[in-house]
Amino acid sequence: MDSFDYIIVGGGTAGCVLANRLTASGKHRVLMLEAGGEPNGMWIPIPAGFSKLLTNRKYNWRFETTPEANTNNRVIAVPRGKGLGGSTLINGMVYVRGQPQDYDAWRDGGARGWGYADVEPYFRRLERYAPGGAFRGTDGPMNLEQVGERFPIAEGFLHAAMQDGHALIDDYNGSNQEGFGYYQVCQRNGRRWSAYDAYLAPARTRENLAIATHVQVTSLELEGSRCVGVTYREGGRDVMVRANVEVILAAGAIQSPQLLELSGIGQPELLQSVGIPVRHALKGVGENYIDHFATRMNWRVKNTVTLNEMSRGWRLVREVMNYYTRRKGILTLGTGLVHGFVKSQPDTATPDAQYFFVHASYANAAERILDRKPGMTIGVTQLRPESLGSIHVRSRDQLMGPAIRPNFLDSPVDQLCMIRSMQLARRIVNQPAMRPYIDFEMNPGEGVSSDEDWLSFARQNGQSIYHPIGTCRMGEDDSAVVDLRLKLRGLAGLRVVDASVMPKMVSGNIQAAVMMTAERGADLILEDARC
């Protein structure tokens, strides 16, 4: 039986960071286990390729929610990355740290040592942001660039935001998030820059790092109150491998709690109901599921050319040539072009809503098929939702996906924030700077005016924007799953280091926060190894 010092379960965002940092000294033998394969798809390095990858089963687990009344019993897609690099292979590449108050809320809620002053150095460590600034890192592994393309309608939208009283800001990851501007993205020279590119690729030549792909971890192996290794399935056979120091779960907010429950770690009644023997009772596993819920408001536009037309025919040929010769043009674009971080109501202390503006609209959003006529979209999301959901196994079958119940729009606070944020977006678009471009509002349409209408639109049309967190929450209370050093409570030899440990949502896309968590988690692991 093989053994390693550390076994990392999952080769996604956090796993790539951990693999790099834990092997850097050469002292520790590390095994990474990943269910997917190598990140060699043709669409992965092309930023605009995200639209192809979000429906590609080779690189996407394609999870779905359980129908819920709050969202009119619709099934909502929950894409998660599959392969070395995880969700950074298929996401929109948007980089947002969040607000300092987010991490201070973690600290004040019981995650001592995870306040903004504690975590800010780790953001600096991971960043390579060329413009720099007093608050930014410039020599880290994760290359960051501001979206480089400029379009008249986007400039018009920024002017409309100013006409509505909002500020333009250069760096929403600096001292102040509030305002409008162009997004920062994880790219390098017009190409996607994933966690694989930043962290794992440079570490693969190290002799103390082993990587196994296309292997499905099916259980954590326990001896008494200690996790001693894992069993994984490879080519129809089960293989057990031992961890001399620790097993580190980095499978994400969906699959980390799923694997815990499949291994008999979780709520006893739930485990027994699906025939899983209880090995370690821990009531918080799979609870505290939080995700960003977003609506898409669309307008038919005029007097400009949008991505809808630019992605077809001779214009597309021109854009392909532009990309491959200059690394410029629409193929460098991800999910967001222009950002807005706004207060949905005047008395809100800090921004509580985020906008994603792009001059494109979908004929079929689920399949990422663009309209043929010119259009634009503003994605509207609440930054810090209060609604809490859950994720739990439905069977002892390791290959069956779990039941995901996000409980979107359960909280009246969430409902009001979404309503006011959509109304504000409409108000901005109705400013004089946008009048030359707007033909008419397609969705929700001018007929939607009352709060009840807006909420009904959100329930019927809103989607996840793929930021699940919290299902193995850190803390010191009885419902916490891991302690403040990310060790599983009550079991030795097992940690969780990924989005699932985040106790509350951060104000924006979560990729930055996940990488920060993994950077800090790696330091905690190495500190304990020296003790």
Nearest to 248 by CA among 504, 61, 24, 14: 14
User: By C-alpha distance, which of 392, 397, 421 is closest to 407?
Assistant: 392
Cα–chain center distance at 476: 25
Is residue 214 among the annotated active site residues? no
Decide if 89 contacts 53 (C-beta within 8 A).
Answer: yes
Peptide bond into 436 cis (omega under 30): no
Paired tokens of 161:
């935001």
Q: How many residues does the chain have?
A: 531
Bridge pairing between strands 438-443 and 390-392: unpaired
In terms of Cβ atoms closer than 10 Å to its own Cβ (0-12, 13-18, 19+), residue 150 is exposed
Of 367, 467, 382, 474, the residue nearest 421 (C-alpha) = 382
Catalytic one of 166, 359, 392, 467: 467
Beta strands in 112-266 (DSSP E): 127-129, 142-146, 179-182, 184-185, 187-188, 191-192, 209-213, 216-223, 226-234, 237-249, 265-266
Q: How far apart are CA 130 and CA 491, in angstroms?
A: 43
β-strands 226-234, 187-188 pairing: unpaired
CA distance 368 to 77: 12
Q: What share of the chain is helix, strand, coil (3-state, %, to 5)?
A: 30, 25, 45
For residue 443, give the 3-state DSSP assignment. Answer: strand
Counting Cβ atoms within 10 Å, is residue 493 exposed (0-12), middle (13-18) or buried (19+)?
Answer: buried
Residues classed as catalytic:
467
